[in-house]
Amino acid sequence: GQIQNQSCCYSPGSKVSWKIENSVLPQRTKISPDLVDKLESLALVDFGNQEGVNCLEEAIRFADQLHVVNTDGVEPMDSVLENSAALRWRDDNLKLDDCAWELLQLATDTVEEYFVSTQGQSLAAQSELPLTLKQVSQF
């Protein structure tokens, strides 16, 4: 699809197309620098330049078209496969392959068959007990 100045239009081919005037759409969302920072830390994606911000704002604009649709009483779908036969499953069988070995070969950095995590990312240090075991055992 493309977004033009006066309206949004989409033409996948000759069969289906639509055109929505800008005037019926909500106000265009501007991404503030603070929001860029927050999104960058949440998504771990570096997009904090003009081109990146423009791209994001255009994507939001494209999605704004949904506001024109009347969705009263309609449950949103999160999968088009909603009938009961859609989910395929497998038996609890072990499959032995060399995938693990191949994956280790792919890694740039390993230490004795462990992958090494890159530092410098904002990874939360979780699962630390607020208590030390020594404190608890003395209780």
Binding site for another protein (CB under 8 A): 42, 44, 78-79, 81-82, 84-97, 99-100, 103-104, 111-117, 119, 121-124, 126-131, 133, 135-137, 139
Q: How far is the CB of 29 from another protein (least distance, A)?
A: 18
- Among 36, 29, 28, 34, CA closest to 52: 36
Based on CB atoms, which residue is closest to another protein, 46 or 112? 112
Q: How far is the CB of 31 from another protein (least distance, A)?
A: 18
Whole-number Å distance between alpha carbons of 105 and 53: 37
Q: Is 18 helix (H, G, I), strand (E, B) or coil?
A: strand
Based on CB atoms, which residue is closest to another protein, 72 or 112? 112
Q: How far is the CB of 100 from another protein (least distance, A)?
A: 4
Q: How far is the CB of 91 from another protein (least distance, A)?
A: 6
Based on CB atoms, which residue is closest to another protein, 14 or 87? 87
- For residue 26, which phi and psi values (nearest 5 degrees)? -65, 170
Asked whether the beta carbons of 31 and 57 are under 8 A apart, the reply is yes
**CA trace torsion 117, 123, 129, 130 (10° rounding):** 140
